[in-house]
Amino acid sequence: MYSRKEKWMKLQDLKHAGLKKWIDEVAALTKPEAIVIADGSDAQYQQLVDEMVASGLATPLNPEKKPGSIAFFSDPSDVARVENRTYIAAASKEAAGPTNNWIDPTELKKTMTGLYDGCMKGRTLYVIPFSMGPVGSNIAKIGVELTDSAYVVTNMMIMTRVGEKVLDVLGSDGEYVQCLHSVGKPLADGESDEGKWPCAPIEQKYISHFPESREIWSYGSGYGGNALLGKKCLALRIASVLAKDEGWLAEHMLILKITNPEGEAKYVAAAFPSACGKTNLAMLVPTIPGWKVETIGDDIAWMKFGADGRLYAINPEAGFFGVAPGTSLDSNPNAMYSLEKNSIFTNCALTEDNDVWWEGIGYDAPSKLTDWKGNEWVQDKGNKEQAPASHPNARFTAPASQCPSIAPEWEDPKGVPIDAILFGGRRPHTVPLVHQARDWNHGVFLGSIVGSEITAAALDLKAGTIRRDPFAMLPFCGYHMGEYFEHWINLGKTHDQSKMPKIFYVNWFRKTDDGKWLWPGFGENSRVLKWVFEACAGTAKTQDTAIGIMPTADAIDRPEGVSEDDMAELLCLDRDGWLKEVADIRENHYPKFGDKLPKELADMLDIMENNLKAVDASASCGSCC
């Protein structure tokens, strides 16, 4: 079996004997009709696009409005990550930890091997050699994904560095992560995928990670992180295990560069749970004159210690896989400019002239649309029950190089030195606009208690319930979360803390008792970043409080519309609210991790509780005694 195009690289040209052997084994099992090696070239990308358009799977978009772009519509059962079908198949259930789904790896491989048997019949097996991070960087890692989906290949060509340059670095015996994927549902004789998004029923979907052998097996889904195996699967679940074993960090974090009017720059990494403005912050347009924010990455940060003792980060991705609904020129202009061309849109609505539209794009739907399910759709603003035209998890895949705010050093193989790490969540009450950890262990404590308040309507839980998502890593950590906390603690023990990033907790989502926003967010968050910058430089106005270091009342420039009283409320120490927070952490959150919870974190919780009890209960705000 060879490439369909003689000019593409052939299997026998591969230098890596182990890789060739694995491909042969997979081909013998899955029985494809052809094998194609992805070389990362524009010509091959276009060939795959043309084939998908010809088959009816992809729709070319208006070349005047979205040049070089295509749209896809998935099967309605295949629209997002399937966390309940995502497994950490570690050698033992304890190694996977209480927050991951576990299946015995031997049994899981037996089940999945049965599903893979003949699953690529009538399809092409694509070999995707890819680098997570700049090719050749000492922080980067190489993966090879075998897939039967051209949609996956084209997305991976945008999201990662693909092709022969990766194979050159891999050489004849280099290490790589094996990533096996199939959309599933083998084709019957004479059947084809033309015009259909192939996927298996939910009970046959498996997104499986084998941390000891560094393997990823995915079956039955063609969508997003289930199928683009460089994304969450390698970049976080497998990489987090590699990071623990090798002494670095693989984190669900954006990376940005902020520069003051004097030209001094600092680099910030930030971790937030979903729906907390992560991409918006990564591409923020500052409202403070003279300040500049540039994008290194919007989702993943890999961080290793340099020879100078500082923590250096790369963005291991080469593109953005962003949620489309809610993205507009008002909320995130840089994202909108990034996706103007050469992009892939999944489950967005189509206009009559073949442009894309989604809810929250910033303007009304133009005339009739074709919704993400292929039905005619006309906007009816008076009907609050109207189904959305775009799926709420509709996506765009766009090259990071097209982002107007991309930093010149975003592909520096050495990475950028991280000055600050931010944690945050959606908290209408209690948590102030910003506070800083006193030291590394205190910062790890802040990361370990991250959470967002949810409503009964959203998740069928009691209103005001905190959904904890420590480090925004709960769905993505490839091993026991208690050991993950311990890994962070140990880095503070084995490295010079004076050179480590300072750690902060931010909250853009404070509300008044009657539900009004206290802080405008978006570009105004640059005012908080300015204080973080100053705290890193040692020039910030600060006060010590029971929960950590906070800005003084006049430390942060107030945006228009935020009164002195609002600012006081945003920076207030809510003693009683924090004592309730302590109780929730002690009773409901930390017990999940059992005896794997580091003693340092339990001690930090005790210290905070004692500090809070020492605050005058009659004061609305107070400092630690």
Q: What percent of the chain has pLDDT over 90?
A: 90
Count of C-beta atoms within a 10 Å radius of residue 189: 6
Answer whether residue 188 is part of any domain.
Answer: yes
pLDDT at site 590? 98
Q: Tell me, yes or no, whether 433 and 293 share the same domain.
A: yes
Residue 200 has φ and ψ, to the nearest 5°, of -95, 160
- For 552-580, b where at least 16 C-beta lie within 10 A, e where not — what string? eeebbeebeebeeebbebbbbbbbeebbe
Residue 319's nearest CA partner among 197, 453, 162 is: 162
7 pLDDT band, cuts 50/70/90, is low
CATH of the domain at 421: 3.90.228.20
Does the pLDDT of residue 3 top 60, yes or no?
no
Q: Tell me, yes or no, whether 27 and 116 share the same domain.
A: yes
pLDDT at site 584? 95
Q: Which CA distances in Å does 407 have to 297, 315, 402?
A: 9, 11, 11
> How far is 302 from 311, CA to CA, in rounded Å?
10
DSSP code of 408?
A: T
pLDDT at site 617? 76
Q: Tell me, yes or no, whether 332 and 396 share the same domain.
A: yes
Q: Which amino acid is at 79?
A: V
pLDDT at site 187? 86
Adjacent-strand bridge partners of 377: 369
pLDDT at site 621? 60
pLDDT at site 458? 38
pLDDT at site 461? 47
Of 386, 402, 418, the domain-final residue: 402
Q: Tell me, yes or no, whether 192 and 261 share the same domain.
A: no
pLDDT at site 454? 73
Where do runs of H (alpha helix) occur along 314-411? Answer: 333-338
pLDDT at site 95? 97
Dihedral angle computed from the Cα positions of residues 260, 266, 267 and 272, in that order, rounded to the nearest 10 degrees: -60
What is the number of domains present in the chain? 3
Which residues are designated catalytic? 276
Residue 88 has φ and ψ, to the nearest 5°, of -105, 95
Q: What percent of the chain has pLDDT over 70?
A: 96
- The verdict on pTM exceeding 0.85 is yes
Does the pLDDT of residue 503 top 80, yes or no?
yes
Adjacent-strand bridge partners of 267: 257
On whether the CB atoms of residues 36 and 8 are closer than 8 A, the answer is yes
Of 340, 375, 402, the domain-final residue: 402
Answer whether residue 554 is part of any domain.
Answer: no
Q: Tell me, yes or no, whether 42 and 121 share the same domain.
A: yes
> How far is 51 from 54, CA to CA, in rounded Å?
5
Q: Tell me, yes or no, whether 210 and 295 share the same domain.
A: no
Per-residue pLDDT averaged across 264-290, rounded? Answer: 95
Answer whether residue 234 is part of any domain.
Answer: yes
pLDDT at site 623? 42
Where do runs of H (alpha helix) occur along 11-104? Answer: 17-30, 42-55, 93-96
Q: Tell me, yes or no, whether 363 and 507 share the same domain.
A: no
On whether the CB atoms of residues 520 and 510 are closer than 8 A, the answer is no
Q: What is the pLDDT of residues 228-262, one digit of tens each?
A: 999 999 999 999 999 999 999 999 999 999 999 99
On whether the CB atoms of residues 131 and 169 are closer than 8 A, the answer is yes
Answer whether residue 272 is part of any domain.
Answer: yes
Q: What is the pLDDT of residues 178-202, one digit of tens each?
A: 999 999 988 888 888 899 999 999 9
CATH of the domain at 347: 2.170.8.10
Per-residue pLDDT averaged across 260-275, rounded? Answer: 95
Q: Tell me, yes or no, whether 444 and 458 share the same domain.
A: yes
> How far is 270 from 347, CA to CA, in rounded Å?
28
Q: What is the pLDDT of residues 346-393, one digit of tens each?
A: 999 999 999 999 999 999 999 899 999 999 999 999 998 999 999 999
Per-residue pLDDT averaged across 118-135, rounded? Answer: 97
Higher-confidence residue of 4 and 570: namely 570
> How far is 370 from 352, CA to CA, in rounded Å?
8
Q: What is the pLDDT of residues 546-563, one digit of tens each?
A: 999 999 999 999 999 999
On whether the CB atoms of residues 612 and 579 are closer than 8 A, the answer is yes
Per-residue pLDDT averaged across 464-471, rounded? Answer: 88
> How far is 113 from 534, CA to CA, in rounded Å?
55
Q: Tell me, yes or no, whether 98 and 23 share the same domain.
A: yes
Q: Tell me, yes or no, whether 160 and 239 share the same domain.
A: yes
> How far is 285 from 523, CA to CA, in rounded Å?
5
Q: What is the pLDDT of residues 45-66, one digit of tens each?
A: 999 999 999 999 999 999 999 9
453 pLDDT band, cuts 50/70/90, is confident
Per-residue pLDDT averaged across 468-494, rounded? Answer: 97
Does the pLDDT of residue 457 top 50, yes or no?
no
Answer whether residue 67 is part of any domain.
Answer: no
Per-residue pLDDT averaged across 409-417, rounded? Answer: 98
> Strands (DSSP E) along 38-123, which ranges?
58-60, 70-72, 86-88
622 pLDDT band, cuts 50/70/90, is very low
Answer whether residue 566 is part of any domain.
Answer: no
Residue the block writes with tokens 């929250």: 360
**Least confident range of 11-15, 146-150, 221-225, 510-514:** 11-15
* Token pair for 263: 């030209």
pLDDT at site 276? 87
pLDDT at site 124? 96
Of 192, 220, 246, the domain-final residue: 246
Answer whether residue 116 is part of any domain.
Answer: yes
**Can you say whether the dihedral through the CA atoms of 609, 612, 617, 621 is positive or negative?**
negative
Where do runs of H (alpha helix) occur along 495-558? Answer: 526-537
Domain span at 153: 11-54+83-246
Count of C-beta atoms within a 10 Å radius of residue 339: 23
Summary mean pLDDT of the chain: 94
> How far is 248 from 242, CA to CA, in rounded Å?
8
Q: Which amino acid is at 443?
A: G
Per-residue pLDDT averaged across 570-584, rounded? Answer: 96
Q: Tell me, yes or no, whether 429 and 377 share the same domain.
A: no
620 pLDDT band, cuts 50/70/90, is low
pLDDT at site 618? 67
pLDDT at site 10? 81
CATH of the domain at 159: 3.40.449.10
> Strands (DSSP E) along 183-285, which ranges?
206-210, 215-219, 249-251, 254-259, 265-271
Q: Tell me, yes or no, whether 450 and 497 share the same domain.
A: yes
Helices then strands, each counted (H, E), the chain: 17, 31
Answer whether residue 620 is part of any domain.
Answer: no
**Least confident range of 162-171, 190-199, 587-596:** 190-199
